[in-house]
Amino acid sequence: MTFIVAIDGPAAAGKGTISRAVAAHFGFAHLDTGLLYRAVGVKGGDPVEAARNLTEADLARDDLRSMEAGQAASRVAAIAEVRAALVDFQRSFAGRAGGAVLDGRDIGTVICPDADVKLYVTASAEIRARRRWLELGEGADFADILAQVRERDDRDMNRLDAPLKPAEGAITLDTSEMTVEDAVARAVAEVSARR
Detail the residues annotated as belonging to a binding site: 9-17
Distance between the two ends of the chain, CA-based, in angstroms?
Answer: 11
Report the distance separating Cα 150 and Cα 125, nearest Å: 7
Detail the residues annotated as belonging to a binding site for ATP: 9-17
Is the four-CA dihedral 153, 156, 160, 162 of positive or negative sign?
Answer: negative
CA-CA-CA-CA dihedral for 47, 34, 32, 96, to nearest 10:
-50
Q: Please, which residues have CB within 8 angstroms of residue 96's CB and are 6 or more apart in sequence?
A: 2, 29
